Amino acid sequence: MAKSDFDAKGIASMVASGLYLSNCHSKSLYYGFIIKRKAMDINKVTLIGRLTRKPEARELPSGQRLASFTLATGYVWRDHKTKEKRDKTEYHRCIAWGKLAEIALTYLDKASRVYIEGRLQYRDWQDKEGRKRFSTDIIVDEIIMLGHNGKSTTAQTDAAMAKEEPSEKELVLEEV
């Protein structure tokens, strides 16, 4: 690997290919960085948005409590053909367990603005009519409350809150 290869693009390609930089002991030392080969898997989601409703509490037969809520995130872009601004709102089902669930149930409300970190979890189950259903959830690892003033501050947020989240029958949860 030449010195010219060791730039931002080089580092990104090394990370993508499974090489990463570490400060631990190894045989391969390159310009003060140690390069190791390791398989890397990442399942991480980061969102900032507003709750569409107050979190709902659920208790599993084991006694474990969780809070489920939907987070609305929006984005704006300009249509290249018409040059007009467009916006879209996405809805994300979030599930918090344990102490995070208690915090969410205590402090979060409809329109609360939060920063969420978590991981994706895909589930499938059969509904009461016997149809196979699918769901993508965000299992919350961290919640940072960014504020809540009871009023939306932008037209985009007003539009997102005015739309009702996509309806889905009862959320079926299994213990993780």
Tens digits of pLDDT across the chain (176 residues)? 454 445 555 555 555 555 545 444 444 555 555 556 666 789 999 999 999 999 999 999 999 999 999 999 999 999 999 999 999 999 999 999 999 999 999 999 999 999 999 999 999 989 999 999 999 999 999 999 997 554 443 334 444 444 544 444 444 454 44
d(CA 91, CA 150): 20
Among candidate residues 48, 50, 68, the one with its CA nearest the CA of residue 58: 68
* Beta-ladder partners of 46: 117
165: which DSSP letter?
P
d(CA 137, CA 54): 17
Which pLDDT belongs to residue 152? 40
Six token digits for residue 147: 């504020």
What the chain holds in terms of domains, given with CATH numbers, is 3-37 (no CATH), 45-162 (2.40.50.140)
Among candidate residues 52, 159, 45, the one with its CA nearest the CA of residue 113: 52
- The strand order across the sheet containing 33-37 reads 19-22, 33-37, 29-30
Helix, strand, coil content of the chain in percent (nearest 5): 15, 45, 40
Six token digits for residue 161: 């809150």
Which pLDDT belongs to residue 18? 54
Q: Calculate Rg over the CA atoms of the chain.
A: 21
Q: How far is CA 111 from CA 59, 120, 125, 126, 145, in A?
A: 24, 23, 30, 32, 11
